[in-house]
A = this chain, B = another copy of it.
Amino acid sequence: MGDNKMINIYDIAKMSGVSIATVSRVVNNNPKVSEKTKAKVMEAIEKSGYTPNVFAQGLGLKSMRTIGILVPSIADLYMSRAVAYIEDNLHDAGYDCILHCSGYTAAEKETHIQLLLNKKIDAIILVGSTYAGSDDETHNTDYIRRAAKDVPVFIINGLVDGDNIYCTASNDYQASYDVTTALIENGCNKILFLTDSRSYSANQKKEGYKQALSNAGLKSEDKMMIYTENSIPVVKNLLNNLKDIEFDSVFATDDAMAVGAIKYALLKGLNVPEDISIVGYNNSTLCICSEPELSSVDNKIEKVCKDTCSRLIDILKGEENVPNQSVVACSLVKRATTDF
C-alpha cells in the first residue's frame, strides 16, 4: 500500500458521501455510476492521494497483478493442494502469487499479513481455517478486518464477518454430523474423536460430532475428544497408551491421524472395520496408501479454491453483488475402514 497507507476505501467513501461499493465502481470505471457521483468520488480520491493497489488498475495506475497467499505450512498435504489449485486459477487470469508461510501462532499470522500488505498486492488469500480463529485463545479475527481495510481478503475454509472479506468454507459441520450418525447407525457408540487443531473448521467438526451424538441420545464426553498431533506414529502410540478409555471407532479430522488409528489396530490385532471403524478427513493420498484403505471425507478442496479465485477475479474487476460467504458440501468417500 506504500505511502498512502493511512487513507483507505472507507475514508474515500466517507469523504465523498457514497458507499464503498460505489467507490469501487468508480475506480473500476463501471459505467453504471452517474457522472455526478463519479466526479465527487474522483475529487475525494485526488484530494486524499489515495492510490490503493487493488483499484489502481481502474485508475490507469499500474497494478502489479499480484495476489498474496498466506498458508501456515506449505508442506501440509491439504494446503499444498489448495495452493496448487489457486496458483493455477490465478495464473490463468493473469495474476502472480506471492507465497508466505506464516506458521500457526497469532503473532506470526499478523506479522506475515503485514508483510504482504507492504507489497503491491491486489488481494490476500488466507489458506486454512486456522486464520479464522481458534478456541485456545480469544477468538480474535480483528487482524483480518484490519487487513481488509487495505485489500480484499479471501479466506479458504473459515467464515469471518466483515466488509471486504470473502469466505469459502466446506461444510465441515454437516460432514462431521453425517459421519458420526453413520457410525452410530452401524452400531458404534464409543466414537473417539481425534483432532490436531482448534481452528474454525476443527470446531465445526467437533460441533457436528457432538450434535450427532446428542440427536442419537448419546452423551458426548470430553475424554472421547482428544487433541493430538497430525502424525501417524504419534496417534498410534497415543491410542496404544490410552488408559480407562474404551472405543469402538475413530473419527479423525485429518487423514494422518486416522492412519495412526489403523496402525494401532494392526498392532493390537484388531480387524478393521469389524472390530473398529475408522474415518479420516481430507481424502488425501494417504487414504489409498494405507492398508486397509481409509474411508475419508472429501472436503472438495478443488471446488473451494475455484470458487475463491472466481470471486477474487470478479471483485478485482469491480463486479457488484459478489457474495461474501459460500459453503461447499462435503461427501464421504467409502473405502475399507468402514462398513458403510
* Cα of A117 to Cα of B119 in the assembled complex, Å: 18
**A88 touching B100 in the complex, CB below 8 Å, given contacts A289-B259, A289-B286:** no
Chain B CB within 8 A of A214 CB: no
Chain B CB within 8 A of A291 CB: yes
**A101 touching B74 in the complex, CB below 8 Å, given contacts A259-B289, A286-B285, A288-B232:** no
CB of A96 within 8 A of CB of B87, answer: no
- List, in ascending order, chain B residues with CB within 8 A of A81's CB: 75
CB of A98 within 8 A of CB of B97, answer: yes
How many Å from the CB of A53 to the closest CB on chain B?
A: 14
User: In the complex this chain forms, how many copies of it are found?
Assistant: 2
- Contact with A119, one of B96, B259, B266, B290 (Cβ below 8 angstroms): B96
Chain B CB within 8 A of A99 CB: yes
- List, in ascending order, chain B residues with CB within 8 A of A87's CB: 74, 99-101
- Contact with A96, one of B80, B83, B84, B98 (Cβ below 8 angstroms): B98
Closest to A115 in B: B96
Chain B CB within 8 A of A14 CB: no
Q: Which of A70-123 contact B (CB under 8 A)?
A: 73-75, 77, 80-81, 83-84, 87-88, 91, 96-101, 115, 119
- List, in ascending order, chain B residues with CB within 8 A of A88's CB: 101
- Contact with A290, one of B74, B84, B101, B289 (Cβ below 8 angstroms): B289
A interface, size bucket: 20 to 34
CB of B288 within 8 A of CB of A290, answer: no
- List, in ascending order, chain B residues with CB within 8 A of A286's CB: 285-286, 289
* Cα of A83 to Cα of B75 in the assembled complex, Å: 8
Closest to A96 in B: B98
**A84 touching B91 in the complex, CB below 8 Å, given contacts A232-B289, A288-B232, A289-B289:** no
CB of B101 within 8 A of CB of A96, answer: no
Chain B CB within 8 A of A233 CB: yes
- List, in ascending order, chain B residues with CB within 8 A of A75's CB: 80-81, 84
How many Å from the CB of A301 to the closest CB on chain B?
A: 10
Q: Which of A208-244 contact B (CB under 8 A)?
A: 232-233
Chain B CB within 8 A of A155 CB: no
How many Å from the CB of A130 to the closest CB on chain B?
A: 16
- Contact with A99, one of B99, B256, B259 (Cβ below 8 angstroms): B99
A selection of 16 A-B contacts at a CB cut-off of 8 Å is A73-B84, A74-B80, A74-B84, A75-B81, A87-B101, A91-B101, A96-B98, A96-B115, A96-B119, A97-B100, A232-B288, A233-B288, A262-B291, A285-B286, A289-B290, A290-B291
- The 5 A-B residue pairs with the shortest CB-CB distance, nearest first, are A80-B80, A291-B291, A75-B84, A99-B99, A289-B289
